[in-house]
Amino acid sequence: MANLKEIRNRISSIGSTMQITSAMKMVSAAKLKKAQDAITQMRPYSNKLTELLQSLSATLEMDDGSPLTEEREIKKVLLIAITSNRGLCGGFNSVIIKYVNEIIETKYSDKEVSVLTIGKKGNDLLSKNYTIHSNQNDVFDDLTFENVAVIAEDLMDQFENGNFDKIEIVYNQFKNAGTQILTEEQFLPIVTPETDNSINVDYIFEPSKEEIVKELIPKSLKTQLYKAVRDSFAAEHGARMTAMHKATDNATELRDELLLQYNKARQSAITNEILEIVGGAEALNS
């Protein structure tokens, strides 16, 4: 059994760890509220804009459509992997990295695949095995629509120039503080509805349907990428808050076990001292 000093040192160390994990939990909880409000307010707009664009694009002739809707033979693929810049958030980053590895080795095993990383953790690991197209870790330093739009504009140029035939986004979608949904979305080319179950409405387009689509496409793609980054940002704080909560609970449980062990060791030491005193007194009286 460890001596009393060793047990006291361990109790003190665990107490310090509890203070850190508890503080990190509260910080993440505060950031989560703001991030959750932002993504909750944005989703209806983003989803409706995407739905409108897909429905409108589906009614255009192929020759009149945007080059961003062009379906071509897939030879070069770009995967956008969105992770976090910091750790201590459970399996948040490892899920993304594992899935990117999986789809590269299976789904795109015969394609030329590059990875665009948003998040330091993903870049650190994926750069060891795959070609990194670019690293956009600094977007989390100032997460605004304008900063993400710059990335989206570059991706649109890359697709139009034929550098990539398909671009997909892999990220954690925020559901609640304890749940993140691994999501794979096609970014380019724009996906058009496969079935025509929508209600046909006779709209009057001004100036023209083609010009409206060309105006909506860049805006929709920028919004889609920004929503994915925002979703991942909220999911990160939810995962970190949950991880720190579990770490605090585990530390509390371990501390209680050590306190019990300490009390038992202390009681045993006191008992031994009393027995030694009694034994010494009896020896003097004999």
Which position among 7, 68, 89, 118 bears the catalytic label? 89
Going by their DSSP bridges, the two strands 179-188 and 166-176 should be labelled as: antiparallel
Instruction: Provide the token pair at 5.
Output: 């000093």
Phi first, then psi, for residue 81 (nearest 5°) are: -100, 115
Burial degree of 282 (CB within 10 A; 0-12, 13-18, 19+): exposed
- Asked if 89 is an active-site residue, the reply is yes
113: number of Cβ within 10 Å: 21
What is the rounded radius of gyration, in angstroms, for the C-alpha atoms of the chain? 29
Read off the amino acid at residue 184: E
CA torsion 95-97-100-104 (nearest 10°) is -130
Q: Which residue has the tokens 């990295």?
A: 97
Q: Do 154 and 174 contact (CB within 8 A), yes or no? A: no
Rounded to an integer, what is the distance from CA 34 to the centroid of its chain?
A: 16
- Residue spans of beta strands (DSSP E) within 136-209: 166-176, 179-188
Residue 136, C-beta contacts closer than 8 angstroms, at least 6 positions apart: 116, 117, 118, 151
Phi first, then psi, for residue 70 (nearest 5°) are: -70, 125
Catalytic residues: 89
